[in-house]
Amino acid sequence: MLFSSSIRQLILLTLVCWLLTAAATPLAYAHSASKTVLVLGDSLSAEYGLVRGQGWVSLLEKKLANANITATIINASISGETTSGGKTRLPALVDRIKPDIVIIELGGNDALRGLSLSASEENFRAMITTAKKANAAVVLIGMKIPPNYGKDYTQRFFSLYASLAKEQKVLLVPFLLDGIADREDLFQADRIHPIASAHPLILNNVWPQLAPLLSK
């Protein structure tokens, strides 16, 4: 009887250990499935002229929470940021945050200042390389500028995004303000920055490219 009791205790202990391990497994899996998303953008992502919480990045956080998708969104966007500034800031951000996904929403300020497209292209390429070296997926967000900057410049600027996305094999949102740019009622008085009601539309433009990365 003494021997049998010891065996029963051993079996019971083994069973308890197995149950504890099994119970912990889903939690570990859920944690490993969680993603950290870094948004590196300019005023269009930094809620310029808006009440905090109305921009598309904030709306993304709310969308994920409502869908019970575990993710951490870090908005490192700065109004007035250029691709040069983004290239300079990204390495430290990546080292500190260790993102799984990097969204690059830059270039508009380069073009509005008439900066060299070749320099912008190299800055984008450097940012993409930095993100890839950190094993982060990249979503590149395209932008357009008004035609008064000259047909050749505006076309070359816009095509730069698709060309880089193809070359670097990264996901592309063709145009952040698709369905918005031609509607004056969706812009602030400066005709550059969208009003709050436009930001759900902006998120709708980004979401199709971002969603598959969050589910991987």
Residues annotated as part of the active site: 43, 190, 193
- DSSP, residue by residue, 138-205: EEEE-----GGG-HHHHHHHHHHHHHHHHHHT-EEES-TTTTTTT-GGGB-TTSSSB-GGGHHHHHHH
Q: How many helices (H) and strands (E) does the chain have?
A: 7, 5
Bridge partners, 37 (sequence order):
73, 101
Structure tokens at 159: 């095509």
Per DSSP, the three-state class of 37 is strand
Would the CA dihedral through 118, 114, 174, 133 be positive or negative? Answer: positive
